[in-house]
Amino acid sequence: MKVAVGMLLAVLALSPALAQPVVTSAAPLATSVTVYRDPNRGEGRIDPRWPNGYALVSEKRRITLPAGESTIRFEGVADGMLAVSAVVTGLPGGVSEKNRDARLLSPASLLDGWLGNRVHLRRTNRQTGKVSESDAIIRSGPNNAVVLQTAEGVEALRCSGLPETIVYDGVPEGLSAKPTFTVNTASPGATTVDVTLTYLATGFDWGASYVARVAEDGKTLDLFAWLTLANGNSAGFDGAQLLAVAGAPNRTSDFGTLVAQPPSPVLNLQCWPMDSTSTHDAWGLPVPPPPAPPMPMMYEMAVAAAPQAMRMAKGNIAADSIARQEELGDLKLYRVPMPVDISSNGQKQVALLQKAKVPFTLFYRATLSPFQSDTASRPIGIALRMQNKDKDGLGIPLPSGGLVVMQERADDELLLADAQMRDRAVGEKVEIDAGSNDQLRIQQETLSTDDDGTLRRVRVTLTSALDRPAPVEILIDRTDGYDLVASGRTLTPKDGGRLWALTLPANGKAVLDYSLRRQD
């Protein structure tokens, strides 16, 4: 009798009814998302379609736990979650095991989960419109033609010539409609607790999107910037606390390897290559290949948002709606003061900074390569120079990003340039491109080259059709292995090259002759 009771208890212990309970947390109460820029992107605008930065996500969730062991499912985490980085705090029994569930619900995974099981095959007669339903057993998975066994025999799905579909009685265990992270815990008693789930996730990026509005007098400008955030994950975060980190933290982990997921199954519907099948191509034409998977679509705003930024800058937006800068070691942290809805596969812009009436100096510049001969003249670029100091109207860190330069003309705003802003610290000189001037032109030509290549003589000619003097700076790139000697001109070192700075007279002309001599 004791043996029988022991066997009964063993059977009951293995019974599904007594399996470890599952607690599902469908959504967080509050979320904080701290976004780090793509370290390999360099300077300029982000790529909203393929964000390659990352984020630190922290979610507060309320969970009701039963006494004893249970499995907690955190639904709606980011697709790019790095499960190895996940930390759950606040559980009275701690965490004994954690798993990142990569099996998302899809037509192929649903079919694969019902392999060998009974489903319902629903067909519609094309002529009568009558719907019939019969039982079938799935005999092959989604990788090949889907083969079904019915009362009439064995056949492939969608090869009968009738519109047909499979109806399932439920969803197989382990499939989730949302990215899910699970942990196992053992609670000393039934309780409701607030826990925090924190993890790193890929598929984010951010950058600054600047709009510089040049005043009509051409002496000052208003500088406004968006904080542009891209989220490439299918998970969105409503009402999140958004933070952005500028700079390059030391990162040695290979995020791409850590976040790699097993490939999802693809549903492939094919008929047998027989002339009797109703879907056979009677004309002998090849069946086109399936379309490539679409790129994740993002809502793009960059230059289109410039007019709105102009209106905001003119209206001097409230200071409490602009991101607040904080120190984070050697990095800069920008905290958005209001909750932000971060859409899935979307892009968000919030006010980053605003400075009014910043004085600047306009000058003209060009960069030359000594070994590039150009017999045709070309326009010289326009540049605006500012000092990033508080006494000069700036005095704030300027993260890298895209830059749109606009010019006031009466009631109109005219586009001057679409340029880039490099990372600039407080106290640095800031130079931005503002288009080009066709009335100032530059020409470089090679006068002579020795047969052995030891000496090369070059002439640079500047011409002006302006009715005023023009400050011009010409930077000649460094050429390793050669010495550059100017004839009758003073060149100063700059950025590894040599700078020719001058004031070109109104309707005037200037010539620079220099030689390149190969070093011994």
pLDDT of amino acid 268: 60
Residue 408 phi, psi (nearest 5): -75, 135
Q: What is the DSSP letter of 506?
A: T
Winning range, highest mean pLDDT, from 136-145, 201-210, 268-277, 318-327: 201-210
Report the candidate in 513, 512, 445 with the shortest Cα–Cα distance to residue 472: 512
In 3D space, the residue among 186, 18, 217 whose CA is nearest the CA of residue 96 turns out to be: 186
pLDDT band, very low/low/confident/very high, at 48 (cuts 50, 70, 90): confident
Query: Which tens digit of pLDDT belongs to each residue from 133-188?
Result: 888 887 776 665 678 778 787 877 777 667 778 787 766 666 665 788 889 999 99
**Averaged pLDDT for residues 485-499:** 87
Cα atoms in the 13 Å half-sphere on the side-chain side of 342: 31
Q: How far apart are CA 466 and CA 426, in angstroms?
A: 35
Mean pLDDT calculated for residue range 3-23: 50
519 SS3 class: coil
Averaged pLDDT score across all residues of the chain? 80
Find residue 370's DSSP bridge partners: none
Report pLDDT for 173.
Answer: 64
Q: Where are the beta strands (DSSP E) in 79-130?
A: 87-89, 97-101, 118-124
Beta bridge partners of 121: 134, 166
State the DSSP H helix or E strand holding residue 3, giving kind and residue range, or none if neither.
helix 2-13
The pLDDT of 194-219, averaged and rounded, is: 92
Mean pLDDT across 88-104: 80
Which pLDDT value is given to residue 484? 87
Of the segments 39-48, 126-135, 299-308, 392-401, which one has the largest average pLDDT value? 392-401
Please state, in angstroms and as integers, the Cα–Cα distance from residue 409 to each residue in 150, 309, 316, 361, 414, following that order.
76, 17, 19, 19, 7
301 closest CA partner among 225, 244, 215, 228: 228
C-alpha to C-alpha distance for 380 and 54, rounded to whole angstroms = 40
Residue 253 banded pLDDT, cuts 50, 70, 90: low
Dist. CA 204–CA 209, nearest whole Å = 16
| pLDDT computed for residue 313 by the predictor | 47
Which tokens in the block code for residue 494? 């700059």
Q: What would the pLDDT profile of 366-379 be if each residue is shown by its tens digit?
A: 999 888 777 788 99
Q: At residue 307, does pLDDT exceed 70?
A: no
pLDDT digits (tens, 9 = 90+) for 432-477: 998 899 999 999 998 888 878 788 889 999 999 999 999 999 999 9
Q: Could you tell me which CATH number the domain at 360-388+428-518 has?
A: 2.60.40.290
User: Could you read off the pLDDT of 401-412 as tens digits, one per residue?
Assistant: 889 999 877 777
Integer Cα distance of 18 and 7 in angstroms: 16
Q: How far is CA 207 from CA 40, 43, 224, 302, 502, in A?
A: 13, 9, 13, 11, 36
Residue 88 to residue 71: CA distance in whole angstroms: 13
Q: What is the percent of the chain with per-residue pLDDT over 70, rounded to a whole number? A: 77
101-147 pLDDT per residue, tens: 655 556 665 666 667 778 878 888 877 878 888 888 877 766 656 78
Q: How confident is the model at residue 305 (pLDDT cuts 50, 70, 90)?
A: very low
How confident is the model over 328-344, as a mean pLDDT?
A: 91
Candidate from 74-78, 151-155, 164-168, 274-278 with smallest mean pLDDT: 274-278
Given a cut of 90, whether residue 505 has pLDDT beyond it is: yes
Q: Which residue has the higher pLDDT, 25 or 126?
A: 25
* Number of other residues whose CB lies within 10 A of the CB of residue 44: 15
Look at 327 and 271; give whichever has higher pLDDT.
Answer: 327
CA dist 460 and 499 (Å) reads 13
pLDDT band at 488 (very low <50, low <70, confident <90, very high): confident
